[in-house]
Amino acid sequence: MTVPYDVVVIGAGSAGLVVASAASQLKAKVLLVEGSDRIGGDCLWYGCVPSKSLIHVAHTVHQIHQAAASGLVSSLNGTGIQVDYLKVYQHIRSAQEFIANHADSPDRFRNLGVEIVFEKGRFVDERTFEVGGRRVQARAFVVATGSRPLIPPLPGLAEVGCLTNESVFDLTRLPKSVAVIGAGPIGCELGQALARLGSEVSLIASRDRILPKEDPEAAQAVQHQLAQDGIHILTQTRAQKVSLENGEKLLYVGAKNGNGGKVIRVEEILVAAGRIPNLEGLGLEAAGVQYSAQGIQVNAKLQTSNPRIYGCGDVIGGHQFTHVAGYEAAVALVNALFLPISKASYRVIPWATFTEPELARVGLTESEAQQRYGQDVMVLKHEFAEVDRAQAEAATLGFAKLICRRNGQILGAHLVGSHAGELIHEVVLAMSHQLPVSALTGIHVYPTLSEVNAKAALQHKKQKFAANTRLQNLLQRFFAWRRAWS
């Protein structure tokens, strides 16, 4: 049966754009379907780009405050530091518009040969997708419709209103006070940025600590800094209801066990309590595609229950990061255009939380490694305070923690500190190529922060030597013998 397209890509976010661009450059005929009026997805418009732009400005303001507090600089005419939030908003929009007009420009994709339709569509059967008043068929389909913020069913929230990562970057004025529901990466990043720009921030965490998916010691370092930034952190606390009084939003919270309670009065409530996949209206039932509340169900080849249809990115759940979406898109692309033999592997998936200090992770945690390998686990740790460049930059908070086996196999790494999101890639490369931890002890430029990885890795040899009393005794006798015969 002749079909008009090699692949129809549904969703023009990170995953969809990778598939469409690469497939077209491979000379496949591609149709890209996007339900909104622009491409780029959550990363460009609501996630990575605007959040990191905001964080950059907040970090700059914080550095100025720190310099003033330490006496390195003094404020002009005694007025202190004033943040023009309208200019912050314009900085965010400028970054977005540049990317939208260059890397994520519709014209760029059209010039590559991609046909783009800005319409919502749906499957009408297992081989046909209806969009823009026509029905199209293809050799393969890739669903990459992403996710959106989960809004908890709190009484009064819908009536009072709230911010999410989809609306917080539309603010042109800094709220005087903000309550953040959720202490994961989004809540911590945005909460710290708003606090450093001048908002009074309360962070609501349902667990006993923030960032519950991270190494507890690393998360504690971030939590300590958030508290230093003046953020009110309420752990083991749940939001209960919301009301409005005299123009203020009242967030009622209570202990996780149901005891106690308090009211937080704020100008805005920011919800960062998780995400849900965008599945509605796609006609997945008609296409024979199985899914759940967590997303479209796929196998290791990223095929759905309909082998002609693939899924990648946030819509399939799992690791909801832009770089993972791009990786999954590459796997789906090869399988959809050629033979479905490539499998996605999540053994070496890094991610970072861009608070200050940054927190980056890849592989297993200490407890996960011990559950799997028992006593055959070594924990190698080095503090940033013991790295000369960190001392020079007054960036001594944090550490590098490497998890490995006694034979040197790297199982995971957790970095918390300045530029951790950059420093993690050295470990990622080593793990990807199955290099031993000793590979990280190679020559590093001095003085650089990356020495923290080399110094942590060196602990492998030091710890093994410290545990080998037989070798220590042998060496002691050898040097004594050599001194006697010198």
Could you read off the pLDDT of 80-118 as tens digits, one per residue?
778 999 999 999 999 999 999 999 999 999 999 999 999
Is residue 226 domain-shared with residue 242, that is, in the same domain? yes
Q: In the structure, what pLDDT confidence band is assigned to residue 185 with cuts at 50, 70 and 90?
A: very high
- Closest to 453 (Cα-Cα) out of 442, 464, 465: 442
Boundary residue ending a domain (273, 295, 324): 273
- 343 within a domain of the structure (yes/no): no
Is residue 27 domain-shared with residue 135, that is, in the same domain? yes
Q: In the structure, what pLDDT confidence band is assigned to residue 79 with cuts at 50, 70 and 90?
A: low
Is residue 237 domain-shared with residue 90, that is, in the same domain? no
Is residue 331 domain-shared with residue 309, that is, in the same domain? yes
What are 266's two structure tokens?
Answer: 């704020």
- Residue 373, pLDDT > 80, answer yes
When the pLDDT of each residue in the chain is averaged and rounded to a whole number, the result is: 95
Query: Rounded distance, CA 310 to CA 346, Å?
Result: 17
- Residue 70, pLDDT > 90, answer no
- 210 within a domain of the structure (yes/no): yes
- 477 within a domain of the structure (yes/no): no
Q: Which domain does 435 fall in, by range?
A: 357-469
Core vs surface per residue 221-247: b (16+ CB within 10 A) or e: bbbebbeebebebbbebbbeebeeeee
The stretch 37-50 carries a mean pLDDT of 96
**pLDDT value at residue 69:** 82
Q: In the structure, what pLDDT confidence band is assigned to residue 76 with cuts at 50, 70 and 90?
A: low
- 478 within a domain of the structure (yes/no): no
- 346 within a domain of the structure (yes/no): no
Boundary residue ending a domain (273, 291, 314): 273
Here the CATH number for the domain that contains residue 288 is 3.50.50.60
Is residue 397 domain-shared with residue 435, that is, in the same domain? yes
Token pair 């720009």: residue: 197
Backbone angles phi, psi at 236, to 5 degrees: 50, 45
Is residue 249 domain-shared with residue 310, that is, in the same domain? no
- 32 within a domain of the structure (yes/no): yes
The stretch 305-329 carries a mean pLDDT of 97
Per-residue pLDDT of 250-301, as tens digits, reads: 999 998 776 668 999 999 999 999 999 999 999 999 999 999 999 999 999 9
Proportion of the chain above pLDDT 90, given as a percent? 94
Here the CATH number for the domain that contains residue 442 is 3.30.390.30
- 201 within a domain of the structure (yes/no): yes
Order of strands, sheet of 237-245, starting from the edge strand that comes earlier in the sequence: 237-245, 248-255, 262-266
- 476 within a domain of the structure (yes/no): no
**pLDDT value at residue 78:** 60
Pick the more confident residue, 260 or 193. 193
Is residue 205 domain-shared with residue 241, that is, in the same domain? yes
CA-to-CA dists, residue 483 to 473, 476, 478, 479, 486, angstroms = 15, 11, 9, 6, 5
CA-to-CA dists, residue 43 to 46, 52, 148, 185, 337, angstroms = 6, 10, 11, 14, 26
Is residue 68 domain-shared with residue 191, that is, in the same domain? no
What are 238's two structure tokens?
Answer: 């749940």
Neighbours of 297 (CB within 10 A): 15
Is residue 145 domain-shared with residue 14, that is, in the same domain? yes
* Domains in the chain, number: 3
What are 132's two structure tokens?
Answer: 């823009």
Query: Rounded distance, CA 5 to CA 29, Å?
Result: 5
Q: In the structure, what pLDDT confidence band is assigned to residue 77 with cuts at 50, 70 and 90?
A: low
Is residue 89 domain-shared with residue 228, that is, in the same domain? no
Boundary residue ending a domain (255, 273, 291): 273
Q: Which residues is 291 bridged to in the sheet? A: 296
Is residue 382 domain-shared with residue 452, that is, in the same domain? yes
Token pair 């083991």: residue: 236
Is residue 265 domain-shared with residue 285, that is, in the same domain? no
* Radius of gyration for the alpha carbons in the chain, expressed in angstroms and rounded: 26
Neighbours of 125 (CB within 10 A): 13
